[in-house]
Structure 1
Amino acid sequence: MPGKPITDQQARLYMRLNKKHPRETAAAMSGFSASTAFRLDKDPRLPSEKKAQRGHGGGRPDPFTDLWESAVVPLLERAPNLRPVTILRDLCLRYPERELTAARRTLERRVREWKAAHGPQQEVIFRQNHPPGRQGMSDFTDCRSLGVTIAGVPLDHRLYHFVLVYSGWEHGEVVLGGESFTALASGLQNALWSLGACPIEHRSDSLSAAFTNRADETQEDLTRRYEALCAHYQMTPTRNNRGVAHENGSIESRNGHLKDRLEQALLLRGSADFATLDDYRRFVAEQISRHNALRRQELAVEMDHLRALPQRKTTDYDDAVVVVTSSGGFTLRRVFHTAPSTYIGHRLRVRLYDDRLECYLASSHAFTLPRGRPPSSGKSGQHAHVVDYRHVIHSLRRKPQALANLVYRDQLFPRAAFARTWQAMNKRLDQRTACKTMVGLLWLAHSCACEAELALALEMILDARKLPDLAALQSRFDVAGNSVPDIEVVLPTAADYDRLLTAGAMQ
């Protein structure tokens, strides 16, 4: 085999066969190449005899014999983590008259042997025995490398990942924000209720959502909430040491396996683009469900050792109180959200979930908003905007010129077709006409509930290099203004029903 030294037995067999057969045939019958046979013909000594003569240091003299104890060992004793290539470069600078560059492999071998005999103690990984029902683990893993897009827009997201260590049963869900307590609490509870039981212990790495490592009041608040969450499910909260990821290895390795499965499934699907976020969530859930189907036997064993669930879930959201201002919304965690104008001046209690805001007036649910994320730049004074044009269109219709310099104008348009229409009109029409027409289109989409149909019509008009005619579109989509034909309904008399009943009885 290539790269494998021949044995004395092969050499003897070749010498015997070579007396009756050509070199190539004898070499093939002996299990090595013709070039090896050629070298054996030039030097008929057995391989064991050649090795004994070469000794441990090879055929060439060791260039580090006189430098090892005086120059190399002091460097290794002072800094054991020095790499052989670094030491070699230093020796080449100190001893330029010597040809040391070609002896890199020799130095690497000697350094490796020195570290084995005299180097520092290395950390030992202790493999653990995981009894069934004992431990469940949570972690977050960044999934931007998957290249997932939603309607063509890249999705910056993570996956919350829960694993039962014994059986390998998994749960995962898409997380749009960071490693927050909300994401951890929601993901963990969804995992437990999907499983239908609880492990004795819940383990994580040093998640800021679970264990805050700062010495201030935030640490006490978040840690207390996480401990209360585990206590609700009668689980013991544990974590690995900070910066030691392999202590959470039962889930760290599975993070990579999960992303590999998702990547392969996306390749098999032929596209990483999804129409909606819900479609992508279903895709992830389907892939995890297929994996869990392979762990049915192990899970059946573990289910007998798990604890029962409590009667209900516990809190999986953050609380905040906001006031809807005259700007038509409120700012929460550096994100401005619009709200229905009827709530201006009212104080609302907001429940912050990972993907939405549930807003309450007193104890009654008022409305739900999608949750926005602050700008990644983190500059002071910068805010993101989550805008629903239906919240402000009534006022904007009375003051259409406010659209020109509106702070959140670009976020106001519900679909790309509306943004494209504004750009076209802003270039080719005067500002007053462009604002009035654009606000009229938004009002038409809202009042006639034809946002999707109107967007398609606008795309066709712009593709034809024309500008939309507001009056024509109003006559097309304003169903309330169209004439409705009169329909005459004739009610049957009671005698007609009597005749039907009599005919049925006779049959």
Structure 2
Amino acid sequence: MRLYMKFRQTDAPPLAAAKASFSGSTAYRFEQDRRLPSQKIVTRDRRRPDPLTDIFDGEIVPMLQAAPGLRPVAIFEEMQRRHPELSPGIRRTIERRIRAWRALHGTEQDVIFRQVHEPGRMGLSDFTAMGELHVTIAGAALDHRLYHFRLACSGFAHVHVILGGESYVALAEGLQNALWALGGAPREHRSDSLSAAFRNLDKAAREDLTQRYDALCAHYGMEPTRNNRGVAHENGSIESPHGHLKKVVRDALLMRGTADFDDLCAYRQFIDELISRGNARNARRIEAERPSLQALPGRRTCDYEETIVTVTSSGGFTLRKVFYTVPSRLIGHRLRVRLYDDRLDLFIGGTSLMSLPRGRADAKGKHGHVVDYRHVIHALRRKPMALLGLVYRDQLFPRDAYRRTFDRLLERMPERPACKLMVDLLALAHDRGCEADLAAILTAGLDAGTAPDMAILRERFAPDPAALPQVVVHLTPLVAYEALLDGGVGEAA
């Protein structure tokens, strides 16, 4: 329009309009009324009656003043109950009107203050549940969480798969893995008060957990801090990345084509690879922050809980509502147990015995079982009928094929021979080291509807005489020893 007015000083309306790139009719319309289009806007009145005229100021505003946190949908439902003649289509009208009223007359809201993060100052830890991704290990659902550590300044991240809930053991193991992978420690460590770990603990247990957490931070020279309970945005530097982390894992699982992994180690490698890609993108910032970190101590501190258990005549011990089997030679002995998130390390005195996978009780309180058939197979050979009513019978079978085979045997033969045959199968798997191969043969037999034949199986898994090594022993003549003795005596003289 300004261009048109410039050309209009010397040219006629059609020529000035052409130079200004609009039509001659628009030029003549402008000549009749020289107001700009924005100056011609006329505020229109309502096209239909306001349905909230009689109730907004008289009923809705008092409700908002009495209960500022009331949701608009609750007010809408209450208005419908009081005034049945109101149309359901006024919900959006009520929501917009309440939003506008709150903007003018509502209460003050909390303000989030963006922070400038100093290098080497703050590291944050938190846990996030991963059940919604439906990850499975060898077909079995994996109930797990991810421990997530992050540096607020550079964005360095470390993630550790946690099989249980939030606990000091999980925090200590994940935090120390992160610090040693980083190569330094920040001056401050922030967590969310470990609310899940503190739940259902008495006062003494809470104090003990707090002291252990403080000692862990002191070992690395970090000041322990916690955000206010229920105020997640105070942990915003890690709460927000939680959502991004889940999306990255979900996308990677979709591109992988399956959420099933052969074992837990494969899943952990999968998570580690995803996190390492993110750290590689932030490599410059991480390297710039590393000089500001504190040096690590000479060694790690304990990231386990230690307790004493006694092996009972049942060939095992119970810990945290879970029964674990051990070799029967340990019956009657007191063992020292180091309890980690995913395993138990057993000691007798100062001697390390073995590691067992950690089990967890059922959510409803039912006891769990971690059973290794190799620990009890020698006793089952003498008492095969004990298998029939064994408390942990289903956990005794190392693979599903063995359990299905026993169920089939119970259907087709009396209990005593069925138990005897099943114990013989387990003994064969133990003695010949053929657990996986035997399971494949049992699966084929189940599909074909045939019962296992112990004679054929023993021959199938017997040692091959041709494969046995030929050991030839060459004996040294005794006279050679006499020569050595004679020579030694002469030299000595």
TM class by shorter chain equals 0.7 to 0.9
Superposed, which structure 2 residues align to 1:347-358 within 5 Å?
347-358=334-345
Tell me the distance in 1 between the aligned counterparts of 2:469 and 2:36.
111
Conservation of the 8 A alpha-carbon contact between 2:189 and 2:225: yes
Tell me the distance in 1 between the aligned counterparts of 2:386 and 2:56.
80
Give the alignment partner of residue 151 of structure 2, picking from 164, 168, 171. Answer: 164
The match for 2:42 is: 52
1:128 counterpart SS class? coil
Tell me the distance in 1 between the aligned counterparts of 2:385 and 2:321.
27
**Following TM superposition, by how much is the alpha carbon of 1:62 offset from its aligned partner in structure 2, in angstroms?**
3.3
Conservation of the 8 A alpha-carbon contact between 2:165 and 2:196: no
Conservation of the 8 A alpha-carbon contact between 1:140 and 1:158: yes
The 10-residue stretch of structure 1 (402-411 or 99-108) with the greater mean CA deviation from structure 2: 99-108
Deviations 1:333-371 (A, max 9, x none): 000000000100000000001111101001111111111
The alignment of Structure 1 onto Structure 2 pairs a total of residues equal to 448
Deviations 1:262-318 (A, max 9, x none): 111111111111111111111111111111110110001100100100000000001
1:467 counterpart SS class? coil
Tell me the distance in 1 between the aligned counterparts of 2:473 and 2:72.
101
Conservation of the 8 A alpha-carbon contact between 1:444 and 1:478: no
Change in 2 beyond 3 A, CA 1:433/1:234: same
The 10-residue stretch of structure 1 (267-276 or 211-220) with the greater mean CA deviation from structure 2: 211-220
Superposed, which structure 2 residues align to 1:261-272 within 5 Å?
261-272=248-259
Give the alignment partner of residue 419 of structure 2, picking from 432, 435, 456. Answer: 435
The match for 1:387 is: 371
The match for 2:241 is: 254
Tell me the distance in 2 between the aligned counterparts of 1:397 and 1:148.
38
**Following TM superposition, by how much is the alpha carbon of 1:64 offset from its aligned partner in structure 2, in angstroms?**
3.5
1:398 aligns with 2:402: no
Give the alignment partner of residue 164 of structure 2, picking from 160, 170, 177. Answer: 177
Tell me the distance in 2 between the aligned counterparts of 1:112 and 1:360.
65
Change in 2 beyond 3 A, CA 1:437/1:79: same
Deviations 1:202-240 (A, max 9, x none): 101121477679661011100000000000000000010
Give the alignment partner of residue 79 of structure 1, picking from 59, 67, 85. Answer: 67
The match for 2:479 is: none
Give the alignment partner of residue 363 of structure 2, picking from 354, 360, 376. Answer: 376
1:424 aligns with 2:408: yes
Identical positions, percent: 58
Tell me the distance in 2 between the aligned counterparts of 1:367 and 1:472.
35
1:300 aligns with 2:284: no
2:292 counterpart SS class? coil
Conservation of the 8 A alpha-carbon contact between 1:211 and 1:223: no
* TM, length-normalised to structure 2: 0.84
**Following TM superposition, by how much is the alpha carbon of 1:101 offset from its aligned partner in structure 2, in angstroms?**
5.3
Deviations 1:455-480 (A, max 9, x none): 12222222221010012111221328
Paired residue type of 2:64: L
Superposed, which structure 2 residues align to 1:59-458 within 5 Å?
59-95=47-83, 103-208=90-195, 216-378=203-365, 382-458=366-442
Conservation of the 8 A alpha-carbon contact between 2:249 and 2:274: yes
1:110 counterpart SS class? helix
The match for 2:445 is: 461
Tell me the distance in 1 between the aligned counterparts of 2:297 and 2:469.
60
Conservation of the 8 A alpha-carbon contact between 2:165 and 2:197: no
Paired residue type of 2:127: F
Unaligned runs of 5+ residues in structure 2 are: 5-12, 15-21, 27-34, 475-493
**Following TM superposition, by how much is the alpha carbon of 1:83 offset from its aligned partner in structure 2, in angstroms?**
3.6
Conservation of the 8 A alpha-carbon contact between 1:185 and 1:316: yes
Tell me the distance in 1 between the aligned counterparts of 2:472 and 2:202.
78
Tell me the distance in 2 between the aligned counterparts of 1:92 and 1:157.
45
Superposed, which structure 2 residues align to 1:38-49 within 5 Å?
none
Change in 2 beyond 3 A, CA 1:437/1:167: same
Unaligned runs of 5+ residues in structure 1 are: 1-8, 10-15, 18-25, 31-44, 492-507
Paired residue type of 1:297: R
Change in 2 beyond 3 A, CA 1:109/1:472: closer
Tell me the distance in 2 between the aligned counterparts of 1:184 and 1:469.
51
Tell me the distance in 2 between the aligned counterparts of 1:490 and 1:81.
92
Conservation of the 8 A alpha-carbon contact between 2:166 and 2:197: no
Tell me the distance in 2 between the aligned counterparts of 1:428 and 1:226.
58
* TM, length-normalised to structure 1: 0.82
Conservation of the 8 A alpha-carbon contact between 1:88 and 1:100: no
Tell me the distance in 1 between the aligned counterparts of 2:79 and 2:263.
61
The 10-residue stretch of structure 1 (221-230 or 466-475) with the greater mean CA deviation from structure 2: 466-475
Tell me the distance in 1 between the aligned counterparts of 2:89 and 2:270.
55
1:477 aligns with 2:461: yes
The match for 2:489 is: none
The match for 1:498 is: none
The match for 2:488 is: none
Tell me the distance in 2 between the aligned counterparts of 1:317 and 1:332.
14
**Following TM superposition, by how much is the alpha carbon of 1:450 offset from its aligned partner in structure 2, in angstroms?**
1.4
Tell me the distance in 1 between the aligned counterparts of 2:166 and 2:276.
24
Tell me the distance in 1 between the aligned counterparts of 2:241 and 2:52.
46
Tell me the distance in 2 between the aligned counterparts of 1:324 and 1:490.
45
Tell me the distance in 1 between the aligned counterparts of 2:381 and 2:471.
39
Tell me the distance in 2 between the aligned counterparts of 1:429 and 1:92.
69
Tell me the distance in 2 between the aligned counterparts of 1:403 and 1:449.
21
Tell me the distance in 1 between the aligned counterparts of 2:469 and 2:183.
58
Change in 2 beyond 3 A, CA 1:52/1:104: farther
**Following TM superposition, by how much is the alpha carbon of 1:420 offset from its aligned partner in structure 2, in angstroms?**
1.6
Conservation of the 8 A alpha-carbon contact between 1:333 and 1:374: yes
Tell me the distance in 1 between the aligned counterparts of 2:457 and 2:235.
60
**Following TM superposition, by how much is the alpha carbon of 1:329 offset from its aligned partner in structure 2, in angstroms?**
0.3
